[in-house]
Amino acid sequence: MHHQSQLVESENWSLIIKSKTSWFNLHLYDLWRYRDLIFMFVKRDFVSLYKQTILGPLWFIIQPILTTFMFVIIFNKIAGISTNGIPSALFYLSGLVIWNYFSTCLTTTANTFTANAGIFGKVYFPRLIVPLSSVLSALISFCIQLGILLVLIGYYYFILDVNIKFNPYVLFIPFLLLVIALLGLGLGIIISSVTTKYRDLVFLVTFGIQLLMYATPIIYPLSFLSGKYKAFILANPITPIVEIFRYSLLGVGEVNIWYIAYSITFTLVTLFIGVLIFNKVEKSFMDVI
């Protein structure tokens, strides 16, 4: 064994692959070394998503428009839920755009191990690249849907002469995206690590995301709630992000520095725990998947 160790050390290997034994042995530098692979996965995810569909990438546009239309009919016209004095289409679409990005990040990263078992079993690369590429590819659809929202805002402001209050908070949108992406990544890799052994949790995730949307001020303003119900919704770390995102574009929403500080703290803790668990599960998941 000592002779073999000396032999390995005498060779000029560019990379030595070995099992990780420490929780904190993350090798995050490898992510930068394999950055070209990240962009290849981003391209793969975007192209393959609607590759065999008739309308293709148009679904990025159709889905939020149809959902917004249904929300306007059901929650505004029938249920009569307030939208804080702004056009209901703008209110619902602004919430859906940021929510769709989070839910896509979460669902795609939650399937990291099960959806890529074939690749993981054949070639080495840092496994964390896959969920990172999923977050980046979801950013493409977000930009498309944000473009739709901006066009609709321009239509209401310039054509229909609706008073929309623009404010400097719009400059914080990239930061909000970073927070929501890291939150989706953290929760997703925790779920992906657990579902390698307990597959039925995948169904619980799908159901849970649907419930979580109703616990987020997407179809109702935060000001619509009070007391213990408002406290419950504020316990959701996505709530402050949605409120600030909506306020930055439409001038309507609650902005509180303590709320966003809570979201950031929750996100960082979740991401840290997620990366540690992912790192530990990564070395043995092929034995149980």
Q: How confident is the model at residue 23 (pLDDT cuts 50, 70, 90)?
A: very low
* 25: pLDDT strictly greater than 60: no
Q: What is the pLDDT of residue 53?
A: 60
Q: What is the pLDDT of residue 32?
A: 72
**Contact status, residue 260 vs residue 172, Cβ threshold 8 Å:** no
Give the span between the Cα atoms of 279 and 277, in whole angstroms. 5
Which one-letter amino acid corresponds to residue 71? F
For Cα atoms 148, 244, 79, give the angle at the middle one, nearest 5 degrees: 70
Q: What is the pLDDT of residue 219?
A: 93
Task: Return all residues near 93 (Cβ < 8 A) that are at least 6 apart.
Answer: 64, 68, 148, 149, 152
What pLDDT, in 10s, does the model give residues 201-260? 777 888 889 899 999 999 999 988 888 899 999 999 999 999 999 999 998 888 899 999
Q: What is the pLDDT of residue 207?
A: 85
* 8: pLDDT strictly greater than 50: no
The mean of the pLDDT values for the chain is: 82
For Cα atoms 139, 34, 11, give the angle at the middle one, nearest 5 degrees: 170
What pLDDT, in 10s, does the model give residues 133-190? 889 888 988 999 999 999 999 999 999 888 888 788 899 999 999 999 999 999 988 8
* Three-state SS at 143: helix
**Contact status, residue 260 vs residue 109, Cβ threshold 8 Å:** no
pTM of the model: 0.85
Higher pLDDT, residue 279 or 124: 279
* 90: pLDDT strictly greater than 60: yes
Q: What is the pLDDT of residue 7?
A: 47
CB atoms within 10 A of CB 87: 19
* 108: pLDDT strictly greater than 80: yes
**Contact status, residue 168 vs residue 249, Cβ threshold 8 Å:** no
**Mean pLDDT confidence for 62-80:** 92
**Contact status, residue 277 vs residue 188, Cβ threshold 8 Å:** no
**Contact status, residue 126 vs residue 34, Cβ threshold 8 Å:** yes
**Mean pLDDT confidence for 53-74:** 83
Per-residue burial over 149-164, b = 16 or more CB atoms within 10 Å of its CB, e = otherwise:
beebbeebeeeeeeee
Which one-letter amino acid corresponds to residue 84? N
